[in-house]
Structures are given as C-alpha cells and as structure tokens.
C-alpha cells in the first residue's frame, strides 16, 4: 500500500526543513539563471523504490524542475543504470539532491532486502512479513518499500490489528483470558504469541486462528505445524536471518516475520551526476 500523497508531502517537507533550513548557502554560489541537466545512476544491483518521494522533493524545492523516469518502483536495477533525467535550475537540482537521494537510497535498500528474503524462501509457500521495527517517521514508506520487494505487510501499527504478546498474556492472567478479552472484533485480525508447544496447544484450545511462534527451534516449528494441522495460521518470529530463513520456511509455517527488513536497512548506492 503506497502512502497517501499527503503523507509523502509531509515527510518530504520535514526532510527539506532539516537540510535546507534558512537556505542553501553553497548552491547560492551558482549564478541564479544557470540551468542544468542531471541523472540519477544506480551503482549496484537493487530494487527501486521511492520515485514519488524524489518527485515531491524537487516539486517542493522548485516546481519548474522536470523529471523523466526510466525505471519504476519495483524494477530490478543493474550497476550503471540511469534511473531518471532531471532538468531545471542548477541551484534547485543541487538543493534537492541529498534529500531526494536519502529517500530513494533508503527505500530502495528496504525493497532490495525484502526481495532477498523472498528469493531465499522461493518455492516453500511461506510469506515474508515486515514488522513495526521501522525507522521513526518512515513506517508507511518502508512498508510500501517492502511490498515493492515482493514481501508482505504485517499490521501497520497498534491501531489496525491485535497482537497479544507475552506481557499482554501476563497482565491478562492466561492465554485463554487474553483471547476472551480480545473477542472477535469486526474487521480486526487477532493474533497471539506463544513460546512453546504447551502454549500452542492452549491457544488452539482457546480458539486462536492466528498464532505467532516466538523463537521456536526448527524441530519445534515442525512439530507445531503438524500439531496445528491447519487449524490456525502460523507465523514464525525470532532468530530470522538469511542463513536461517530457508530452514524455517521448510518447516511448513505460513508466515515468517523479519525485523531486519526495515530496522537494519542498508542504503543502496545511488548518485546524481550533472551532464
């Protein structure tokens, strides 16, 4: 789900305020009437994401800047590939460069990481999910980037789904009482976290239909899948990285949530060069 135009506008406005402040002192050295052409170039393999943020950066800096895109969000990029051509005031191109690249590099990094995980579990039937471990202020943007990489979104925040975790269970008194309190709210998914096979059995007995298996070993994940026998949707979480995700997927779980898709993102190497 792509963030709304208002969301992108506000993210860009905040980022530009951070960078431009009272004005770009260095760009002011360039003659006011100087016009230039520039290209954004990929320096490594990646999945592109963030074109709308780049367009909004230059729109806010200078509506007269034009951008001609030669790649779209979700496209696979190769080193040396030109992503777009920008034309307009040289001052405007220079002032918007870093903010535009910050968005594009970060979101493309998120999309690229997601694509790597999706490829790692190909053929198993398991979905790769993101989490709420996102960069502050960029949650909707990063969750959109995850989908550009072929993975799926978990809940967006605390407001759109119920995930009953260890401390919620402790406060409620038991798995069964926590699930009773949640009930069956219309249009809201209810998931509960369990930490062992006994808790899984308790959750299933209490009617859970989506269960998060937290830090289960591979043998226990396989046992959980067999014991569950399709009654609930099972999600594995904890200890997930590129060296473990394939084995987790092969146990037969439905979903695997991966915090590092968004929290440990490495920006893709992109650059802007004047013609």
**Three-state DSSP class for 150?**
coil
269 is catalytic: no
Q: Which one of the listed residues 24, 191, 193, 254 is annotated catalytic?
A: 193
202 is catalytic: no
Residue in 153, 142, 139 with CA at minimum distance from that of residue 112: 142
Residue in 60, 61, 66 with CA at minimum distance from that of residue 92: 61
| Beta bridge partners of residue 204, listed in sequence order | none
- Crossing angle of helices 139-148 and 90-120, rounded to 10°: 60
Q: Which one of the listed residues 2, 133, 209, 263 is annotated catalytic?
A: 133
| Beta bridge partners of residue 192, listed in sequence order | 164, 211
193 is catalytic: yes
Q: Which one of the listed residues 52, 97, 214, 255 is annotated catalytic?
A: 214
133 is catalytic: yes
74/49 Cα distance (integer angstroms): 6
Q: Which one of the listed residues 2, 45, 98, 246 is annotated catalytic?
A: 98
Q: Which one of the listed residues 17, 43, 82, 165 is annotated catalytic?
A: 165
Report how far Cα 200 is from the mean position of its chain's Cα atoms.
29
- Crossing angle of helices 139-148 and 5-20, rounded to 10°: 120
99/91 Cα distance (integer angstroms): 14
- Crossing angle of helices 90-120 and 51-61, rounded to 10°: 170
Is there a contact between 7 and 56 (Cβ–Cβ < 8 Å)? no
Q: Please give the positions annotated as active site.
A: 98, 133, 165, 193, 214
């Amino acid at each position: 789900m792509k963030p709304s135009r208002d969301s992108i506008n506000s993210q860009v406005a905040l980022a530009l305020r951070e960078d431009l402040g009272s004005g770009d002192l260095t760009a002011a050295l360039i003659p006011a009437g100087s016009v230039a052409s520039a290209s954004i170039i990929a320096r490594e393999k990646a999945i592109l994401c963030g074109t709308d943020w780049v367009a909004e950066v230059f729109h806010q800096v200078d509506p007269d800047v034009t951008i001609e895109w030669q790649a779209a969000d979700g496209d696979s990029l190769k080193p040396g590939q030109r992503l777009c051509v920008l034309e307009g005031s040289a001052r405007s191109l220079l002032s918007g460069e870093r903010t535009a690249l910050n968005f594009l590099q970060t979101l493309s990094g998120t999309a690229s990481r997601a694509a790597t995980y999706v490829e790692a579990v190909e053929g198993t039937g398991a979905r790769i999910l993101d989490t709420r471990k996102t960069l502050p202020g960029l949650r909707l943007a990063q969750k959109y980037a995850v989908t550009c990489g072929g993975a799926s979104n978990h809940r967006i925040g605390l407001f759109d789904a119920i995930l009953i975790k260890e401390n919620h269970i402790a406060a409620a008194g038991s798995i069964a009482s926590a699930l009773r309190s949640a009930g069956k709210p219309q249009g809201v998914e209810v998931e509960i976290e369990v930490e062992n096979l006994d808790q899984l059995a308790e959750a299933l007995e209490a009617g859970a239909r989506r269960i998060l298996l937290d830090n289960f070993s591979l043998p226990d994940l396989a046992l959980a899948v067999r014991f569950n026998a399709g009654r609930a949707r099972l999600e594995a979480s904890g200890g997930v990285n590129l060296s473990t995700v394939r084995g987790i997927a092969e146990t037969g779980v439905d979903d695997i949530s991966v915090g590092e898709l968004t929290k440990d993102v490495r920006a893709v190497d992109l650059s802007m060069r004047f013609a």
